[in-house]
Amino acid sequence: MSELDLDADVLVLGGGLAATWAALSAADAGATVVLADKGYCGTSGVTATAGVSHWLVPPERRAAAMAERRSIAAGLADDAWMARVLDETWRRLHAYDLPFPAAVNGRRPYRTIRGPEYLRAMRRLVKRAGVRILDHHPALELLADADGRVRGAAGVRRQHGGGRWRVRAGGVVLATGGCAFRSHLLGARGNTGDGLLMAAEAGAELSGMELSAYYTPAPAFSTITRSMSYLFGTYVDSAGRELDLPPAEGRVEALARALLEGPVRVRLDRMPVAIRERLRRVQPNFMIPFDRRGIDPFRDLFEVTLRGEGTVRGVGGVRVAGPDCATTVPGLWVAGDAASREPIAGAVSGGGAQNSAWAVSTGTWAGAAAARAVPEPRHRLRPLGRAGMRPVAATSALSAEEVAAAVRDELNPYEKNLFRTDAGLRASLDVLDALWPAVRGGLRGSPVAIREAAALVAAGRWAYRAALHRPESRGMHRRTDRPGPDPALTTGLHIGGLDRIWHRYAPVPREAVAR
């Protein structure tokens, strides 16, 4: 086993879209930067497996784009944040040579880009900027000085015999992604909410955790959660009756209700032939599962499912407490899906386009702000990791794997998460709350698996506790016992704490903006 001890101005945790934009921004500001990723920077994170569209709007159309989003955000978004994100995303995407598709009719399409090529290019840019990349170096915990200011992190070198690493830094950017609750969402196995747990241990607040009920179709046996083609589907139930799904609003809920009755099959026969023929060049991974099962998805019926996206395409995460993406903890900034996206998405998912713009712009701001923090190498640092790291009792008989499976079984079923009720949420919280002492006591498994299990339990408890304390339906948070929004709850819902969870309603911060 070999140990690694480094000093840097900025430490970025994560290796996906937000992390790479943060590292680039910090390095461009003149900082020495270390990026530590759980996986491989270039394939990690949900963007690497997808094709993303950016919320990229030319200046003259921004007012209309913002008005459109404001009309669906259910009162929880902020115009000033939307304007800033649009502005920064536009600037950043034009500033670097990224592998956007070749020019079409003389115009380079900057909006859409394929994930594997995007992250491969981001890795190159980050390396060229002088950032030191530590692949397969999962972070386990943050480190703080005596005043509680975050000044580094520590973790495991999982391809170096499990030796430990430690980086001391002036500022830390959390860009560890959202929590997908082990749903088999494409590319999201490592998205276990590690950053949320680490931030909460440092005292950070979360927000929007109840906004975590977004679902995407996929073949029942597969991870390929690419929603586009499913809009061309004919859906039938087990009796062979065609389902009458609404075109937009309520479509996913209707499909989920049918799935609760029994298997649903689909064929994508409404897709125009011209699109079928070029689908492989638009989404090169879409046909893989069908080819390998001998299914012609445009002719044959195949079983479909809905996979939960947790806080990935959901909204919740660490609360952004300032325009530079500071958290409420000094020394700690947050970016991408690890940050609550409420300021631009409100109560609905930002979809691919807003989410990638959020990663680009918050990564940029968090990286630049962390680069302004001054490292103090002489400080004595205190490790903040608790659950699953510093057991408070004898090791429990449970394994990390069993705990992760239990969380998955509470946070993914449609009847529990998509169609929420007071009684259902309380029943799930009983299960999740009962897991917490076991997690605090220590589980069986590798250090990384144990921390992932702890983060999954913590994120699940925040999500459902917040859902319980929002007795209304708003955006993607649907309470079947409380249909419709309650005007009194047009408010943010902050949450935090681990052994004892607290929550607080807070007015949506609105920066003065000229409409």
Partner 1 sequence: MIELILADRCTRCDICVRVCPTNVFDAAAGEVPVIARQGDCQTCFLCELHCPVDALYVDPDCENPRPADPAAIAATDWPGQYRRDSGWGRWRGRHADESWRMDGIFAIAREQLSDG
Taking phi first (over 0 means left), then psi (-120 to 50 degrees means alpha), and beta for anything else, what does residue 161 get? left
Cβ neighbours, 10 Å, residue 228: 14
- 308 sits near partner 1 (criterion: CB under 8 A): no
Please choose, out of 147-155, 280-288, 309-317, 354-362, the segment that lies near partner 1 by the rule CB under 8 A: 280-288
Interface residue with partner 1, options 136, 160, 166, 469 (CB under 8 A): 136
Interface residue with partner 1, options 228, 243, 427, 431 (CB under 8 A): 228
- 404 sits near partner 1 (criterion: CB under 8 A): no
CA atoms within 13 A on the CB side of 199: 34
Please choose, out of 198-206, 226-234, 317-325, 506-514, the segment that lies near partner 1 by the rule CB under 8 A: 226-234
Q: Is 459 helix (H, G, I), strand (E, B) or coil?
A: helix
CA distance 82 to 238: 44
Of 222 and 340, nearer to partner 1 (C-beta) is: 222
Of 127 and 136, nearer to partner 1 (C-beta) is: 136
Strand partners, 8: 169
Please choose, out of 87-95, 287-295, 339-347, 414-422, the segment that lies near partner 1 by the rule CB under 8 A: 287-295
Q: Which two tokens stand for residue 414?
A: 């449609």
CA distance 459 to 365: 25
List binders of partner 1 among 309-348 (CB under 8 A): none
- The separation between CA 179 and the C-alpha centre of its own chain, rounded to angstroms, equals 6
Of 252 and 326, nearer to partner 1 (C-beta) is: 252
In this structure, the dihedral spanned by the alpha carbons of residues 353, 364, 139 and 172, taken in order and rounded to 10 degrees, is -150
- 303 sits near partner 1 (criterion: CB under 8 A): no
* Nearest partner of 15 among 46, 59, 51, judged by Cα: 46
Q: Is 394 helix (H, G, I), strand (E, B) or coil?
A: coil
Of 6 and 288, nearer to partner 1 (C-beta) is: 288
- The CB-of-14 to partner 1 minimum distance in angstroms stands at 12
x/- contact string, 171-210, with partner 1 (CB under 8 A)?
A: -------------x-xxxxx--------------------
- 288 sits near partner 1 (criterion: CB under 8 A): yes
- 219 sits near partner 1 (criterion: CB under 8 A): yes
- The CB-of-405 to partner 1 minimum distance in angstroms stands at 12
List binders of partner 1 among 46-75 (CB under 8 A): 48-49, 51, 53
- The CB-of-401 to partner 1 minimum distance in angstroms stands at 8
- 285 sits near partner 1 (criterion: CB under 8 A): yes
List binders of partner 1 among 153-172 (CB under 8 A): 158-159
Q: Which two tokens stand for residue 313?
A: 């395409």
The alpha helices in 148-223, defined as continuous H runs, are: 194-201
CA end-to-end span of the chain: 59
CA distance 408 to 422: 19
- 217 sits near partner 1 (criterion: CB under 8 A): no
- The CB-of-136 to partner 1 minimum distance in angstroms stands at 6
Angle at 186 between CA 306 and CA 473, to 5 degrees: 45
Q: Is 155 helix (H, G, I), strand (E, B) or coil?
A: strand
> Which helix (H) or strand (E) is 360 found in, with range?
helix 351-371
- The CB-of-291 to partner 1 minimum distance in angstroms stands at 7
* Nearest partner of 201 among 161, 143, 253, judged by Cα: 143
- 39 sits near partner 1 (criterion: CB under 8 A): yes
Please choose, out of 70-78, 217-225, 332-340, 497-505, the segment that lies near partner 1 by the rule CB under 8 A: 217-225
Please choose, out of 26-34, 165-173, 279-287, 390-398, the segment that lies near partner 1 by the rule CB under 8 A: 279-287
Please choose, out of 83-91, 209-217, 278-286, 310-318, the segment that lies near partner 1 by the rule CB under 8 A: 278-286
Q: Are 55 and 65 within 8 A, CB to CB? A: yes
Q: Are 176 and 15 within 8 A, CB to CB? A: no
- The CB-of-278 to partner 1 minimum distance in angstroms stands at 6
Interface residue with partner 1, options 89, 176, 192, 223 (CB under 8 A): 223
- The CB-of-126 to partner 1 minimum distance in angstroms stands at 15
Of 99 and 383, nearer to partner 1 (C-beta) is: 99
CA distance 386 to 182: 22
Q: How far is CA 269 from CA 112, 238, 258, in A?
A: 25, 18, 20
Q: Are 332 and 384 within 8 A, CB to CB? A: no
Radius of gyration of the chain (CA): 22
Taking phi first (over 0 means left), then psi (-120 to 50 degrees means alpha), and beta for anything else, what does residue 388 get? left
Of 156 and 489, nearer to partner 1 (C-beta) is: 156
Strand partners, 133: 35
List binders of partner 1 among 101-130 (CB under 8 A): 101-102, 104, 109, 111-114, 116-117
Of 205 and 253, nearer to partner 1 (C-beta) is: 253
- 473 sits near partner 1 (criterion: CB under 8 A): no
Q: Are 139 and 13 within 8 A, CB to CB? A: yes
Of 278 and 515, nearer to partner 1 (C-beta) is: 278
Please choose, out of 146-154, 163-171, 272-280, 479-487, the segment that lies near partner 1 by the rule CB under 8 A: 272-280
* Positions that interact with partner 1 (CB under 8 A): 38-40, 42-45, 48-49, 51, 53, 99-102, 104, 109, 111-114, 116-117, 135-136, 158-159, 184, 186-190, 219, 221-224, 228, 231-232, 247-248, 270, 272, 275, 278, 280-285, 287-289, 291-293
